[in-house]
Amino acid sequence: MNTTDTARVAAAKEALKYVKSNYVIGVGTGSTAMIFLRELRNAISGGIISDVLLVPTSTETEIEIVNLGLAGLLRYPWQVDHIDVAVDGADEADRAKNLVKGGGAALTREKIIDYWAREFIVIIDEAKLVDKIPMKHPIPIEVLPFAWTIVKRRLEEEFRGKVELRFGSGKRGPIVTDNGNYILDYTPGTDIDPVIVEREIKGIPGVVEVGVFNGKKVSRLIIGKTDGSTIIL
């Protein structure tokens, strides 16, 4: 296991302490969230946690839940009336717990589930803790395909900075999200106020969701360190 994995496993194990039997659990997307899911599977098969339901935030997570033998616990949002706890990763986080998410293009379903949860727990390795967001990653914005050039132009003209339509590997053309939309990656030209950016970009017609998550929605930010310890903000 490399040091990043050690840090992520430490954060995932810490997050597991906030999961109890009979909980409805929102399961995030990405490699760190998948480590959490495997830790959760081990706790279930070891009889430590029982009678939970799992609500995935992406097709990736849904497939992994099935692959881990947990298909019977899989539920969609319309099959549950609440989420007790959501555990998710992030691309970067600041000390006020504001996040950039959407590196895996799952930001919309993640925000729906994460913001809905009674407790929203974020797990990252220490390399993702930054002084100010966005630092190392652009802000992903999910847009209706019909509107992508219009939204791109408005972002460039009114919000300044650089906007790129996301292309991926294994497919020609733009990547298509689980919701059938495109992703614009926006790098602001100046420092941003995350709360204002989240609200104002969300207000542009054609924008489905913005990959800035408000720190006030995050109950705990668990930072795994390469020595296997954790810090909780």
Catalytic residues: 110
Shortest distance, position 88 Cβ to ligand 5RP, whole Å: 6
Residues 106, 116 contacting (CB under 8 angstroms)? no
Residues 107, 166 contacting (CB under 8 angstroms)? no
The piece of 10-18, 22-30, 144-152, 218-226 that touches ligand 5RP (CB under 6 A) is: 22-30
The piece of 9-17, 47-55, 83-91, 141-149 that touches ligand 5RP (CB under 6 A) is: 83-91
Residue 155 gets which letter from DSSP? I
Which residue, 127 or 147, is less far from ligand 5RP as judged by CB?
127
> Binding to ligand 5RP by residue 90, rule CB under 6 A?
yes
Binder among 26, 56, 89, 206 for ligand 5RP (CB under 6 A): 89
> Binding to ligand 5RP by residue 104, rule CB under 6 A?
yes
User: What's the rounded Cα separation, in Å, for the pair 27 and 152?
Assistant: 31
Torsion of CA 210, 214, 215, 216, to 10 degrees: -160
User: What's the rounded Cα separation, in Å, for the pair 9 and 89?
Assistant: 12
Shortest distance, position 22 Cβ to ligand 5RP, whole Å: 26
User: What's the rounded Cα separation, in Å, for the pair 18 and 20?
Assistant: 7
Secondary structure of residue 89 in the 3-state scheme:
coil
Element (H, E) at 212: strand 212-213
> Binding to ligand 5RP by residue 222, rule CB under 6 A?
no
> Binding to ligand 5RP by residue 178, rule CB under 6 A?
no
Phi, psi for residue 202 in degrees, rounded to 5: -60, -25
Shortest distance, position 113 Cβ to ligand 5RP, whole Å: 12
Binder among 12, 25, 107, 163 for ligand 5RP (CB under 6 A): 107
Binding track over 27-66 against ligand 5RP, x by CB under 6 A:
-xxxxxx---------------------------------
Task: Tell me how many residues contact ligand 5RP (CB under 6 A).
Answer: 18
Secondary-structure breakdown of the chain: helix, strand, coil percentages, each rounded to the nearest 5 = 35, 25, 40
Interface residues with ligand 5RP (CB under 6 A) are 28-33, 88-91, 101-107, 110
